[in-house]
A and B are shown apart, each in its own frame.
Chain A
Amino acid sequence: MSDATPALEITNLTKAFDGTHAVDGLSLKVRAGELYALLGPNGAGKTTSLRMVTGLLQPDSGEIKVCGIDAQLDAVKAKRLIAWVPDEPLIYDKLTPMEYLEFVAGLWGIDADFARYEADKLIDTLELGEKAHERCQGLSKGMRQKVALAGALIHNPKLIILDEPLTGLDAGAAKLVKEVLRARVAGGVTIIMTTHILEVAERMADRIGVIDHGRLIAQGTFDELRAGDNNQGKSLEDIFLELVEKERATA
């Protein structure tokens, strides 16, 4: 993959449920090595779009390329490069965090020595040490989120997709997760995340995409969004709400 190849390229993606379009001709490009925040009101089509990228949903039409690989033609190859962390971390209650990491590493076919090294490192970095060998069934939501994140990171994905990664985390855990994500981006990994905490997007994201009614309605850096009509000095929250309002008025 050359540096110019986008980490994710979506073209005219559509998905309808019972005749209602959840995603309606969505097109966007996410550059390699950037942290891209995908914003949108509830029901805008964010999660549906990302689930199609990760192969969890079949699109009705459109094209998805992950690091230049057609995700529909060569799903297994594309999946090898992606990690997906849903908003509700689904992990195995009867496995310990360490066993979970061993399992994920095995699924992605990671070299055993490397996996063991990475697992130890992640357990340490995400401060899961005390719970590493205890079953996940009694972990708090924040701890479960960290275990799910560790699972996403253990196979060194090129593209990490996170759905509301900071929901349910306390301030300390949220700071830790943000640091881990920043470090990955600094190492060349691309991160796409959805969030309703707009301050997080404002502070962390290299670029921001705003989606509503399954379509991209604005995209750019925070400064670029702020440079738009009468947006000078406004917070991302204000800009976002105005964009959504304008979209709904014209829809």
Chain B
Amino acid sequence: MSQPATLNWFARHELTLFWRDWLSMMSAGRSAREGVVKLVLGLAAIGLHGLAYSLLAEPLSGGFSADKAKLVMLTGSLALAFFMMMSQSLEAVTRAFYTRADLDLILSSPAPVRHVFAIRIGTITLTSAAMATVLAAPFINVAAVLDGPHWLAAYPAMLALSAIATALSILAVVTMLHYVGAARTRLISQIIAAIVGASFLIGIQIVAILSTGSMSRFSVLSSQSLIAAAPDLTSLLWLPAYALIGTPWALASLSLGALVLLVGVIHLVSPRFAHYSIATAGLSQRAVRQAGRSWSFKRRLPSFARRTPRQVLRAKELMLLKRDPWLVSQTLMQILYLIPPAIMLWKNFGESASGFVIVAPVLVMAIGQLAGGLSWLAISGEDAPDLIASAPLHRRAVLVAKIEAVLSVITLIGGPILLVMAIASPWAALMTCLGVLAASTAAIAIQMWFRAAAKRSNFRRRQTSSRAATFSEAFSSVMWAGAASLAVAGSGFAALFAALALLVLGFAWVVSLPRQGG
């Protein structure tokens, strides 16, 4: 009999699954699309390298020398990437403990559990490093060509940062599992992941607004006051930046530190992996109920109140939206991104209307995206499609109820900001409101045209069901945001952007016709 499940064997198994899963996600499960995916990725890589060249050719023409200004910019960008990695790995580590899939099979096999855990964590490290590196890669490659191969050190540096992020995420999740319990950890972890992912960017934007009146993070990172206050070039704070540009001692220290931390955490936690996995699998109803009790002030018992089927459907949608941990974290993220424009609004309140030109598009974009996510959950993400389809209701009534639920959430979130805006500048508020309405309506319409019944738990993968829907939704939001911004500024070009948004919508409708059976 051969040795069961060696580390190599598990690594191969995990990588095969990861690759197939990723390909299936990118091609929406259609093998015919795999070629198209590869082609699009290839073209995108060429395009990004071109963009990187145009941006780096001039700054690197005289060679790169590390001064405080450059180290501040590099460290700030690395911090941004690190927070994104933290968010990504926190979410992935949580999933590693909670997703059953093959875990039951593996845990019931004679395979050593520490191998499973080590490989899963290794995959998470690589994934979050890859996610952060994918956008940086063209810049790293171009910098290596223009200024020397020492820039290639950025790859291991990013991997080291990802290892640190993963190790910290494991510690965070395990601490929560230990002290908060399996029933609540998932939700809390997803909320923290959302906050961590957005916090640095939002924080830096807030600083930018308060100090320079602009929302650009670069205005903070390149500000003279920050550069002047930064420590000198020998400070350990610059270690990641030095590692990134290929300084040998810095790269070696960062890599070694990251490796020791990750291996140490894996070594510490892997004996408990089975214990925590079993705890998450054994989430009894009692545990869920207890969580429900302590989280809400009053447990809702069905009232069987007299309501029309439409009201019943609307109430069900709202209740499911409220109870969806994914949605809670996603909504929180959208709300977090609304904080900078809200502060901008507050700062400009009573001064000039110029700030609204920046606030309007952010608001339109954020709410448009939120509307898209909510619409998918309400329109496509139906867990009991047979029940709804066999109910004595017209399809239109079902759809209207679901759309009403989405609109009520959007109104609840966007309404207060628009109200404050209206007091300061009725014109800006009116234009932003129209933009928000148009972007939300477009997002709902696109989700409606491309609807395909799916489990709500597939929310993460909603983009894969149709690339056309995903891109149409994003472009439509961008166009409506542009239109709102120009309209607030009183520019006639707003009409052009609105027309382009309608064109995007028309394109989406035409592409969706086969799905609609038209």
Enumerate chain A interface residues (CB-CB to B < 8 A): 54-56, 76-77, 79-80, 82-84, 86, 90-96, 98-99, 101-109, 111-113, 115-116, 119, 131, 133-135, 137-139, 151
Q: Which residues of B contact A139 (CB under 8 A)?
A: 285
| Contact between chains at B288 and A135 (CB < 8 Å) | yes
Q: Which residues of A contact B323 (CB under 8 A)?
A: 94, 135
A sample of 19 inter-chain contacts (CB < 8 A) reads: A55-B390, A77-B392, A79-B390, A84-B390, A91-B383, A91-B384, A91-B387, A94-B320, A94-B324, A98-B301, A102-B303, A103-B316, A105-B304, A106-B309, A107-B391, A109-B308, A112-B305, A113-B304, A139-B285
**Are A76 and B312 CB-contacts (below 8 A) given A56-B389, A133-B289, A138-B285?**
no
| Contact between chains at A82 and B390 (CB < 8 Å) | yes
B260 within 8 A of partner (CB):
no
Enumerate chain B interface residues (CB-CB to A < 8 A): 283-286, 288-289, 292, 299, 301-309, 311-313, 315-316, 319-320, 323-324, 383-394
Ranked 9 nearest A-B pairs via Cβ: A106-B312, A134-B285, A102-B302, A94-B323, A116-B304, A80-B392, A79-B392, A107-B391, A90-B384
| Contact between chains at B394 and A76 (CB < 8 Å) | yes
| Contact between chains at B309 and A134 (CB < 8 Å) | no
Q: Bound complex: CA of A116 vs CA of B438, how far in Å? A: 42
**Are A94 and B319 CB-contacts (below 8 A) given A105-B304, A106-B307?**
yes
Shortest C-beta distance, B118 to chain A (Å), equals 29
Q: Which residues of B contact A111 (CB under 8 A)?
A: 306
| Contact between chains at B309 and A107 (CB < 8 Å) | yes
Q: Which residues of B contact A99 (CB under 8 A)?
A: 302, 319
Q: Bound complex: CA of A79 vs CA of B397, how far in Å? A: 15
| Smallest Cβ-Cβ distance to A131: which chain B residue | B285
| Contact between chains at B309 and A86 (CB < 8 Å) | no
| Contact between chains at A135 and B285 (CB < 8 Å) | yes
| Smallest Cβ-Cβ distance to A58: which chain B residue | B517
| Contact between chains at A56 and B390 (CB < 8 Å) | yes
| Contact between chains at A93 and B312 (CB < 8 Å) | no
| Contact between chains at A90 and B385 (CB < 8 Å) | yes
Q: Which residues of B contact A76 (CB under 8 A)?
A: 392-394
| Contact between chains at A112 and B304 (CB < 8 Å) | yes
| Smallest Cβ-Cβ distance to A101: which chain B residue | B302
Q: Which residues of A contact B301 (CB under 8 A)?
A: 98, 133
| Contact between chains at A92 and B384 (CB < 8 Å) | yes
| Contact between chains at A84 and B386 (CB < 8 Å) | yes
Q: Bound complex: CA of A91 vs CA of B299, how far in Å? A: 21
Query: Which of B289, B302, B312, B319 is the most central at the interface, judged by chain A CB atoms within 10 Å of its CB?
Result: B302
Q: Bound complex: CA of A54 vs CA of B61, how far in Å? A: 71
Q: Which residues of A contact B312 (CB under 8 A)?
A: 102-103, 106-107
| Smallest Cβ-Cβ distance to A79: which chain B residue | B392
| Contact between chains at A90 and B383 (CB < 8 Å) | yes
Q: Which residues of A contact B306 (CB under 8 A)?
A: 111-112
Q: Which residues of A contact B289 (CB under 8 A)?
A: 133-135
Q: What would 13 more interface pairs be, CB under 8 Å, given A80-B392, A82-B390, A135-B289?
A: A56-B386, A56-B390, A92-B320, A94-B323, A99-B319, A102-B302, A107-B393, A108-B392, A115-B304, A119-B302, A119-B304, A134-B288, A151-B387
| Smallest Cβ-Cβ distance to A83: which chain B residue | B390
